[in-house]
Amino acid sequence: MADVENTETNEPLEGVEPEEKPEYDEAAICEEARERFARIIEADGHNRDNMRSDFRFVYSPGEQWSEGVKQRRKHWDEPCLEFNQMQQFVNQVVGDERQNKPAILVHPASGEASVEVAEIQQGIIRAIEYESNAEAAYDNGFQGSVVAGRGYWVVCTEYIGDTFNQRICIKAVQDALSVYGDLDYEEPDASDRNFLFITDRMHKDEFEQQYPDADPVSWDNVDSNWQDGRDHIIVADYYRRVPKKRTLVAMSDGAVGWKDEMPKPPKGVRIIRERQCETYTVEKHRIAGGQQLLESHVIPGEIIPVVQTTGYDVVMDGKRTFQGLVRPARDAQAMFNFGMTAQAIHLALTPRAPWVAPQEAIDDYKDIWKNANTVNYSVLPYKHRDDAGNEIPRPTRTEPSMPDAGWINWCNTMQGVMRSTIGMYQNSLGQQGTETSGRAILAREKQGDTGTFHFVDNQHRAIALTGRIIQSWIPVYYDTEQIVQIIGPDDTRKMVTINQTSPNPDNPLEAIRLNDVTVGKYATVVEAGPGYATKRQETSDKLMQLVQSFPPVAQVAGDLVVKSLDVADADILAERLKLALPPPIQQAIAAKEQDGGKMPDPATLMRMQQMGQQIQQMQQELQELQQRNQELESGAATEDARLRVKAESEERERILRAEIETKEMDLAREKMDREDRLKREQAERDAATKKWIAERDNETRIEIAAMGKATDIRIAQMQPAPEPDTDKPQ
């Protein structure tokens, strides 16, 4: 048995079994990586060039004019002005997506799965998204798909503090051009791609500092695709799917599983069906310069955990092309810049309108009027009467030169071309249109949303794939009994215990696992829409409208209406209104709370409601009798009638009081019986748990004692035999 090395003393740790790691053929993996990397650079080169141009066109000043045009205009001493319209279109699509956050939902998809565990897994995924700041990763990837046609994020793991525990996290890929992915996939979400690279450009000094144990890089032998100049090397995370043939078997006892994982079947159980399946193992290798492996390990699941979100993803003549929102409108934007620049040049070259004035009006102020078109004087004086006292006309400015209407129409046309090319119109961009009714405005806004909905739909498909990846990893990284944090749809946080071992209530000698997230199959989908706060406001508005149109709702659900209001002390007011609910509803709520959130069985609930109604009827009849007695005592009837009715009333009152007392005792007895039954069931569960724990403890003690005896025997057997006495005569 090999020993594990102590990292502090470099000495073996005796008795510690090392983790078995797969062996990799470094030369073969590096050769495969170099071949695939070169192939994808050639196949995806046109997409990468267009992506780079799209990003620069939107975000780099000066990139909306081609280099040839800029050089010619520079020679002519003409400006190249830019009036960037693309950012508003990009911001509108990205902003709409940010306002409608998609949520990953988990549903049971097999007999071993349950709704409760699906909700726990859903809460775990929400917690992973929250701790990873996944919204930023999603937004960054979506922005890349809108601008240039592709964006990415990565599902990975990281260690928690100074422990060996790992947590799942979602990381953004800031530079979409650092990803080189296999283009030969069939699934719309690219979940079946077979390889992918994420590259990092690293200076050689930084590389040697970060990887001191790595072999020295032979810079003369580094492939040109794996270096950037003489001082930088490409370090890539190389993901690949390795196909693996496995046999799926069905046993005669109903068990189904992989043949290499099935335990030895009991006597009489045999294989009744089997078939060959192709599965995949996902590996991640960190490669430096295409020459050596720095790290290697196996990733859970069968999907490469680098998620791609796209704009347009089109295959033509066997060649895959990606495109975003910007590329079709780039020519219209360039023509718009040309028209606006032409107007600016025209206005700049137009002289200021000159002044027209009689000579005698300005003779005394020639120095001021000589500079009237170059100096902004606050007052321009002139002589308004001649020597004979006649009035002199005042100086006037001639009409200025107006902008060319042709260029104005040109620019307006180009703005319309940009909007129609992208599929977003004035109302979609927040501008007021000719529509006046709310329905017409919403229809035009919806038209703009439909024109760009494929970006949003592809983003939701990518987030759903993220949920699939995380859900397939949960049984691996959450395989032991532990307490985890989950987040609900309303962002409430709570701690739950998963994979909890407990005795079976029906058979205390058998152990069961509660909230077991390692068994069963689950499906993930994405639900898009407003956040919880917006939904709460919409719910409150609809409840208020319901109360206004049907006031009796407030009598049976007033506490829920108030609780939905986003106001201070709404919960306190809701609790007070809860006390004013009708008795049958209060009884149902109390019974539900007493049963741990479960409604009582319909028969019990009906009996309790009937008793409550009977008691109310009797109390009402008793009040009527008491009122009649008061009327009789006041002399409202004859003496004989009064005595007779009074005697009947007193007798009826006595009977009613006795019946009310009996009904109340029956109702109290019903509640006590129910409470006793619940306590008895809980006591039985507690006793079974204690018994199971005691038996497990006893078994553990026996096993420890047996192990101790076996160890003593092995130690005795390992002692050397006594040496023969050489002094004894033969």
Q: Where are the domains of the chain?
A: 226-303, 582-708
Q: Which residue has the higher pLDDT, 33 or 621?
A: 33
Residue 537's pLDDT band (boundaries 50, 70, 90)?
Answer: low
How large is the average pLDDT for residues 385-404?
A: 82
- pLDDT the model gives residue 564: 66
pLDDT score of 508: 62
- Ranking 90-104, 145-159, 183-197, 446-460 by mean pLDDT, the lowest is 446-460
Share of the chain above pLDDT 90, in %: 32
Helix (H, G, I), strand (E, B) or coil at 317: coil
Which range of 89-98, 423-432, 510-519, 660-669 scores highest in mean pLDDT? It is 89-98
Q: How far apart are CA 465 and CA 462, in angstroms?
A: 5
- What is the SS3 assignment for 162? coil
The SS3 call for residue 698 is helix
Q: What count of other Cβ atoms lies within 10 Å of the Cβ of residue 307?
A: 27
pLDDT at 370: 85
Q: What is the pLDDT of residue 500?
A: 83
Q: Which of residues 210 and 629 earns the better pLDDT score?
A: 210
The answer to whether the beta carbons of residues 97 and 142 sit under 8 Å apart is yes
Q: What is the pLDDT of residue 44?
A: 95
In the chain, what percentage of residues exceed pLDDT 70? 72
Q: How much is the average pLDDT of 222-249?
A: 86
Of 204-208, 422-426, 576-580, 601-605, the range with the lowest mean pLDDT is: 601-605
Of the listed ranges 178-192, 521-535, 605-619, 653-667, the least confidently predicted one is 605-619
Residue type, 270: R
Which residues, in sequence order, are CB contacts of 63 under 8 Å at separation 6+?
53, 56, 57
Nearest CA-CA partner of 197 in 158, 242, 235:
235
Contact between residue 130 and residue 487 where contact means Cβ atoms under 8 Å apart: yes
Radius of gyration of the chain (CA): 41
Among candidates 181, 167, 101, 191, which has minimal Cα distance to 137?
A: 101
CA dihedral 289, 293, 295, 299 (to 10 degrees): 100
* Distance from C-alpha of 41 to C-alpha of 34, rounded to nearest angstrom: 11
Burial 47-66 (b: 16+ CB within 10 A, else e): bbebbebbbebbeeeebbbe
Least confident of 429-438, 548-557, 702-711: 429-438
The strand ranges marked E within 437-557 are 482-487, 493-498, 500-503, 511-514, 522-527
What pLDDT, on the 0 to 100 scale, is given for residue 728? 47
Environment class of 161 (CB within 10 Å of its CB; exposed 0-12, middle 13-18, buried 19+): exposed
Whether 13 contacts 3, CB under 8 Å: yes
Q: What is the pLDDT averaged over residues 239-246?
A: 92
pLDDT > 90? residue 324: yes
349 vs 71, 342, 538, 622, CA distance in Å? 21, 11, 58, 103
In sequence order, which residues have a C-beta less than 8 Å from that of residue 308 and are 6 or more positions away? Answer: 150, 151, 152, 179, 181, 189, 190, 462
Instruction: Tell me 365's DSSP state.
Output: G
Q: What's the Cα-to-Cα distance from 262 to each of 67, 250, 270, 521, 529, rounded to whole Å?
A: 66, 10, 12, 18, 44
Structure confidence at residue 549 (pLDDT): 72
Mean pLDDT of 557-564: 69
Q: Which among 441-450, 460-469, 602-611 has the top mean pLDDT?
A: 460-469
Give the integer Cα–Cα distance in Å for 301 and 298: 9
Place of tokens 């051009």: 177
CB 64 within 8 Å of CB 333: yes
What pLDDT, on the 0 to 100 scale, is given for residue 538? Answer: 62
Q: How far apart are CA 644 and CA 430, in angstroms?
A: 85
Poorest-pLDDT segment among 68-82, 413-427, 590-604, 702-716 = 590-604
Q: Taking residues 526-541, report their average pLDDT.
A: 62
User: How high is the pLDDT of residue 605?
Assistant: 57
Task: Spell 645-669 as b/e; 16+ CB within 10 A means b.
Answer: beeebeeebeebeeebeebeeebee
**Rounded-to-integer distance, Cα 552 and Cα 543, Å:** 12
Instruction: Measure the CA–CA gap between 92 and 429, rounded to whole angstroms.
Output: 7
pLDDT of residue 138: 96
Of 530, 531, 523, the residue nearest 465 (C-alpha): 523
Q: Is residue 122 predicted with pLDDT exceeding 70?
A: yes
Instruction: Please say if the pLDDT value at position 435 is more than 80.
Output: no
- Picking from 88, 123, 127, 122, the residue whose alpha carbon sits closest to that of residue 106 is 122
DSSP structure string for 566-623: -STTHHHHHHHHHTTS-HHHHHHHHHHHHTTSPPPPHHHHHHHHHHHHHHHHHHHHHH
Q: Which residue has the higher pLDDT, 242 or 161?
A: 242
Between 615 and 195, the more confident residue is 195
Which of 516, 546, 459 minimizes the C-alpha distance to 153? 459
- Closest of 395, 375, 392 to residue 384, by C-alpha: 392
Query: 144 vs 357, which has greater pLDDT?
Result: 144
Question: Mean pLDDT of all residues in the chain?
Answer: 80
The band of 280, judged by pLDDT with boundaries at 50, 70 and 90, is: very high
Q: How many whole angstroms separate alpha carbon 64 and alpha carbon 261?
A: 60
| pLDDT, position 254 | 80
| Least confidently predicted of 79-88, 513-522, 670-679 | 670-679
Which amino acid is present at 39?
R
How far apart CA 639 and CA 124 sit, in angstroms, is: 81
**CA–CA dist 219, 226 (Å, integer):** 10
Which residues fall within 8 angstroms of residue 408, CB to CB, at 6 or more apart? 343
Residue 270 has pLDDT above 50, yes or no: yes
pLDDT higher than threshold 70 for residue 714: no
From residue 439, how far is each of 144, 145, 224, 288, 339 by CA, in Å? 33, 31, 60, 60, 36
- The rounded distance, in Å, linking the Cα atoms of 124 and 582 is 39
| Residue 684: pLDDT band with limits 50, 70, 90 | confident
DSSP state for residue 266 in the 8-state scheme: P
